[in-house]
Structure 1
Amino acid sequence: MKIVETFIKDLVIIEPIVFGDERGYFFESYNKSKFEELGIKIDFIQDNQSFSKKGTLRGLHYQNPPFAQTKLIRVIEGEIIDVVVDLRKDSVTYGKSFNILLSADNKKQLLIPHGFAHGFSVISETAVVIYKCDQFYNKASEGGIKFDDPSLDIDWGMDLKNAIVSEKDQVLPFIENCNSLF
Structure 2
Amino acid sequence: MDTTPTDIPGCYVLQPKVVGDLRGSFVKTFHDERFAELGLRTDWREEYFSVSARGVVRGMHFQTPPAAHAKMVFCLTGEVLDVVLDLRRGSPAFGRPLGFTLSAQNSRGLYLPSGCAHGFLSISEASGMYYKVTSVHSPAHDAGIAWNSIGFDWPIKMPALSERDGRHHSLADFDTPFTFDPAQAAR
Q: How does 1:134-173 map to 2 (within 5 A)?
A: 134-149=134-149, 152-157=150-155, 159-161=156-158, 163-173=159-169
Q: How many residue pairs get matched? A: 178
Contact 1:79–1:102 (8 Å) recurs in 2: yes
Match of 1:82 in 2: 82
Shift of 1:160: 1.9
> Which structure 1 residue ranges, 5 or more long, are not aligned?
none
Give the ranges of 4+ consecutive aligned residues of structure 1 lying more than 3 Å apart after TM superposition: none
Match of 1:20 in 2: 20
Counterpart Cα distance in 2 of 1:119 and 1:109: 13
| 170, 173, 178: which one aligns with 1:174 | 170
Match of 1:6 in 2: 6
Contact 1:120–1:156 (8 Å) recurs in 2: no
Contact 2:41–2:70 (8 Å) recurs in 1: no
Shift of 1:36: 2.2
Contact 2:54–2:122 (8 Å) recurs in 1: yes
Match of 1:57 in 2: 57
Letter in 2 for 1:168: R
Letter in 2 for 1:76: L
Match of 1:102 in 2: 102
Letter in 2 for 1:170: G
Contact 2:3–2:14 (8 Å) recurs in 1: yes
Structure 1-normalised TM-score?
0.92
Describe the SS at the equivalent of 1:88.
coil
Letter in 2 for 1:171: R
Counterpart Cα distance in 2 of 1:77 and 1:59: 19
Identical-pair percentage: 34
Counterpart Cα distance in 2 of 1:41 and 1:116: 14
Describe the SS at the equivalent of 1:160.
coil
Counterpart Cα distance in 1 of 2:38 and 2:19: 20
Letter in 2 for 1:123: I
Structure 2-normalised TM-score?
0.90
> Which structure 2 residue ranges, 5 or more long, are not aligned?
179-187
Counterpart Cα distance in 2 of 1:2 and 1:22: 24
Describe the SS at the equivalent of 2:148.
coil
Counterpart Cα distance in 2 of 1:119 and 1:15: 19
Contact 1:46–1:135 (8 Å) recurs in 2: yes
Instruction: Give RMSD over aligned pairs.
Output: 1.3
Shift of 1:179: 4.3
